[in-house]
Amino acid sequence: MRRVVVTGMGAVTPLGIGVEHVWKRLLAGESGIGAIQSFDVADLPAKIAGQIPQGTKADGRLDLNEWMPAKDQRKMDRFIALALVAAQEAVEDMRTRVDFVTRREFDSLRSEMAELRSQVERHMAYGSHHSHGGAGSTGGGTSGGTGTQPPGGAAGSGEGTGSPGL
């Protein structure tokens, strides 16, 4: 398999989905921490957390059904789905930033993303069947550049936390 470097950014965080949306909320001093609503916390000492906001992509929120079929979602842990969303955001960001990427090159990247998804699915099918980020998971993933560059700043290195090998 050949190596691919994505020079774009993607974010799935408690502040929302998409680097631009998250950056605006950060600059406005907003917090992604709030009351836990995705599961019952009556018996837990902690009542707040940073959860991924649920809603539409257009609103800067997450609806996994907009990103992948429900059938595929059931085959993977939540943290993997979040990492794939962040990686797809990074590829989309790269495409909008780099106007010299040809259609053929972009199709090649899309093919690499499909291969990555296949590898994850194979791992999930034959690997550990333990749930590491299931229904109560509040973790997020980022993919793309590191540091504090704003959207539209220098393109990232393609490395970041939660990035599934891109």
Of residues 6 and 9, the one with the higher pLDDT is 9
Return the sign of the alpha-carbon dihedral for residues 60, 65, 69, 74.
Answer: positive
With a pLDDT cut of 90, the percent of the chain lying above it is 46
**DSSP readout, 64-102?**
GGGTS-HHHHHTS-HHHHHHHHHHHHHHHHHHHH-TT--
Q: Decide yes or no: CATH 3.40.47.10 for domain 10-129.
A: yes
* Contact (Cβ atoms closer than 8 angstroms) between residue 166 and residue 116: yes
Residue boundaries of the structural domains of the chain? 10-129
Phi and psi dihedrals of 115, rounded to 5? -65, -40
The answer to whether residue 54 scores a pLDDT higher than 80 is yes
Confidence band, pLDDT 50/70/90 cuts, at residue 131: very low
CA distance 11 to 18: 5
What does the pLDDT look like over 67-97, one tens digit per residue?
999 999 999 999 999 999 999 998 888 877 6
Nearest to 96 by CA among 14, 16, 8: 8
